[in-house]
Structures are given as structure tokens and as C-alpha cells.
Amino acid sequence: MNIREEILTGLLLDEESTLTLGELSRACTAHAEWIIELVDEGILEPIGSDIAHWRFSGASLHRAHTTMRLQRDLGINLAGAALVLDLVEEIETLRSQLQVLNRRSPGN
């Protein structure tokens, strides 16, 4: 039996971690121009006044990957991806609020 060892590398992000434009584009294996298009469409919201100083949260990496999958798998354009992401976040918020209400109601 052959045992094959591999070393995996990754990026561990917490809520305080931020990425530069270059780091985010490398993490997504996408061109920086595509990341800029995501910002222009409102999908990503960087911190910083100009491109050279932009910083992106770990959530931006998740949103970029989701957008990439929506485009690749479903052929959705960026405007459609922005709408899908907003709707998914709204559903998650509503589910969280419903869980809180269910915990507070008598008999549950």
C-alpha cells in the first residue's frame, strides 16, 4: 500500500482579518479587474478610499467565491449575482430572527 503525503496550505481568516486587492484576487484565482467589477457592482465593499489602500474582509472572499460559482454554474451576470447574494443574506437574517422569536415564545 502506498501512502501519499501532501502538504496543504491555506488561508485562515477570522472576522478581523483583511485582504488587499492582490491577496483577494490570488485567493480567488481571478484577475484584479474582476474584483474591481465586483466592487463596482456593489457585491464587495472594500475599506479604504482608493484602490491602492483597499482592504477586504473575510466575508468578501466568501462573496467573491459565491459570485464566481453563480457565474460559472448558472451563467448569472454580476447584477444578477448581486441580487442573489442580497436575497440569500436577507433569508439568513430572517431565519435568525425567526429562531430568536421561536425561543422566546411560550411552549417551545
Nearest alpha-carbon partner for 68 in 59, 76, 56, 79: 76
**Whole-angstrom distance, CA of residue 81 vs CA of residue 44:** 11
**pTM over 0.85, yes/no:** no
CATH number belonging to the domain at 18-104, selected among 3.40.50.300, 1.10.1660.10, 3.40.720.10, 3.90.1150.10? 1.10.1660.10
- Assess whether pLDDT exceeds 80 at residue 4: no
More confident residue, 25 or 14: 25
- Assess whether pLDDT exceeds 90 at residue 105: no
Query: Among the residues of 1-108, which ranges form H helices?
Result: 21-27, 32-41, 58-74, 78-104
* pLDDT at 25 (0 to 100): 95
Residue 63 near residue 44, CB atoms below 8 Å: yes
| Domain ranges across the chain | 18-104
